[in-house]
Structure 1
Amino acid sequence: MAKVGWIGLGNMGNPMSQNLVKAGHDVVVWNRTKSKADEVLAAGATWADSPKEVAEKADFIFTMVADGPTLHAVAFGDNGYIAGLSAGKIAIDMSTVSVAESVKVNEAVEAAGCKLIRGPVTGSTVLAQSATLGILASGDKATYDKVLPLFESLGANQFYVGGADEARVLKLAINTMIATTMQMEAEAVVLCEKAGLDVGQVTEVIAGSAVGSGICKYKASTITEGTYPAAFSVKLMMKDLDLALDVAKQYGVPMLSTSLTRQQLAAAAATGREEKDFAVLTEVLEDASGYTR
């Protein structure tokens, strides 16, 4: 049984931390809003009053937060988790952040005599609940091997991709494909709707066709129902595409589809849909096409 700390109990972090409790680990948690810890505390975790206290009580410290500034807020400062580290501990960040933001955290963790594993995930909240996420990891290989049993309690597919921040780049690349897939599906669905086809049947056919991917299957009911509760918000997807486009500039890679999809997400945000699920791209295109269900 490992002593595990978990910082960040949002849509993904909450079920993931619960899975570590279910696996028999001694889990201590912190979240900015304590009420979001109710379920994991009921499952058997204990509460810490600060990220620093999490690190003091745990040997493995996970962070799963919304963005780079939030990661830095929980990592640095008098109450940040780095202040609670002692030599030999391992930090694991599962957030989607930029390489530059990651490098700063890594430097501080290593200065404390510890190691950082970058471990962003692929998959939805449903996969987080069922512990079947894909986990992309990079960092020191010997340290990764120590963390792997914990990853196996969180995800069905494990990928070690390099010794530094390679996992950050790969996660951003995957998210560009997820976002552009939703834009392509929006175009296909609205075309069919305007031609008189039923949206439910269209999404079902797309999901089961040669172009049907996991994301098409997962978002079929969301698009059909047309309500778009946020499993992954427009706001967060815009953040990820901005990070991906920054990396693309660094490496000189033109990303035309990603750029266009980013503009459509901006249209969603500008029309009051920033907190909706990013599959709301279908609704944005319906409006632009003069179509009302």
Structure 2
Amino acid sequence: MLKVGWIGLGNMGNPMSQNLVKGGYDVVVWNRTKSKADEVIAAGATWADSPKAVAEQADVVFTMVSDGPTLHAVAFGDTGYVAGLSAGKIAVDMSTVSVEESAKVNEAVEAAGCKLLRAPVTGSTVLAQAATLGILASGDKETYEKVLPMFEKLGANQFYLGGADEARVLKLAINTMIATTMQMEAEAVVLCEKAGLDVGQVTEVIAGSAVGSGICKYKAATITEGEYPAAFSVRLMMKDLDLALAVAKQYGVPMLSTSLTRQQLASASATGRGEKDFAVLTQLLEEASGYKRA
């Protein structure tokens, strides 16, 4: 069985790496803050002192980090994982980053005689814990087939999308729909609240209606309670929409709803909500509408 390296143990990376341990893989991990590795190590993983050390020990190196600059920080430099690669190894990046940022990593991995799979995921931290994520993959098909058994330990659905950065584009497209759905739900909920309806019942009906979706179901309790601990922060969603709008510009696609939602998220951030869950768009609209919950 191939040995796995995992870099990035945040809200998603922690449960995902643990699922590989539970799946019987020998996993070596690194994270910028070592204490975040405690749970994974307790589950059976081992610690490496740098991303380079992870790559030296592993056959397949996964990265799951917050953004492109962080991906480059763990990939490049004297202690980056690329420096620890030897020919024939595999890198798998599951972060949400731009096509350009991805291409630079791919070039370095290929220069080391290795292959890079782009494999961003769809789903929340709850799905990461349950190993029921959707995995969108692109890159070398033969490499994908080698890594597929690992993907099956992480997600319920796996999709091979092509030989380059197709997975990056689709992930960003999906996130635009997730974000704009929350903006639409904010408008629907606040309209109903001001008309005297109960917010809990409203979110329940929306989730079970023709317009209901996974994201409406996941966020129903959050919106009802009016508390917004970050499963996916405003800051990270703004990053993803910026990436999506850049791709849209590249391909000449107007994205009006995405642009509006990006501005609403900017308002949320400017009013101190940048680290709140992006469903806080409902709270933002309540305030803009002069509505205060009892």
Give the C-alpha shift of residue 227 in structure 1. Answer: 0.7
Alignment-derived partner of residue 182 in structure 1: 182
In the aligned structure 2, how far is the partner of 1:18 from the partner of 1:248? 36
- Cα RMSD (Å) of the superposition? 0.3
Percent of pairs identical after alignment? 89
In structure 1, the residue corresponding to 2:274 is in which secondary structure? coil
Give the C-alpha shift of residue 2 in structure 1. Answer: 2.2
Question: What do residues 134-166 of structure 1 show as CA deviations (whole Å, max 9, x unaligned)?
Answer: 000000000000010000000000000000000
- 1:36-55 residue pairs with structure 2 within 5 A? 36-55=36-55
Alignment-derived partner of residue 289 in structure 1: 289
Give the C-alpha shift of residue 10 in structure 1. Answer: 0.3
In structure 1, the residue corresponding to 2:272 is in which secondary structure? coil
In structure 2, the residue corresponding to 1:222 is in which secondary structure? helix
Alignment-derived partner of residue 142 in structure 2: 142
In structure 2, the residue corresponding to 1:179 is in which secondary structure? helix
In the aligned structure 2, how far is the partner of 1:203 from the partner of 1:117? 38
Unpaired segments ≥5 residues, structure 1:
none
Alignment-derived partner of residue 170 in structure 1: 170
In structure 2, the residue corresponding to 1:39 is in which secondary structure? helix
The one-letter code matched in structure 2 to 1:9 is L
In structure 2, the residue corresponding to 1:135 is in which secondary structure? strand
* Paired positions, count: 293
In the aligned structure 2, how far is the partner of 1:35 from the partner of 1:282? 34
In structure 1, the residue corresponding to 2:254 is in which secondary structure? coil
Alignment-derived partner of residue 269 in structure 1: 269
Alignment-derived partner of residue 210 in structure 2: 210
Give the C-alpha shift of residue 172 in structure 1. Answer: 0.1
- 1:89-168 residue pairs with structure 2 within 5 A? 89-168=89-168
TM-score of the superposition, structure 1-length normalised? 1.00
In structure 2, the residue corresponding to 1:272 is in which secondary structure? helix
In structure 1, the residue corresponding to 2:117 is in which secondary structure? strand
In structure 2, the residue corresponding to 1:230 is in which secondary structure? coil
Shift >3 Å, 4+ stretches: none
In the aligned structure 2, how far is the partner of 1:197 from the partner of 1:187? 14
In structure 2, the residue corresponding to 1:164 is in which secondary structure? coil
In the aligned structure 2, how far is the partner of 1:227 from the partner of 1:57? 43
In structure 2, the residue corresponding to 1:153 is in which secondary structure? helix
Q: Does 1:86 align with 2:86?
A: yes
Alignment-derived partner of residue 197 in structure 2: 197
Question: What do residues 241-285 of structure 1 show as CA deviations (whole Å, max 9, x unaligned)?
Answer: 000000000000000000000000000000000000000000000
Alignment-derived partner of residue 223 in structure 2: 223
Alignment-derived partner of residue 8 in structure 2: 8
Question: What do residues 88-126 of structure 1 show as CA deviations (whole Å, max 9, x unaligned)?
Answer: 000000000000000000000000000000000000000
TM-score of the superposition, structure 2-length normalised? 0.99
Alignment-derived partner of residue 25 in structure 2: 25
Question: What do residues 184-203 of structure 1 show as CA deviations (whole Å, max 9, x unaligned)?
Answer: 00000000000000000000
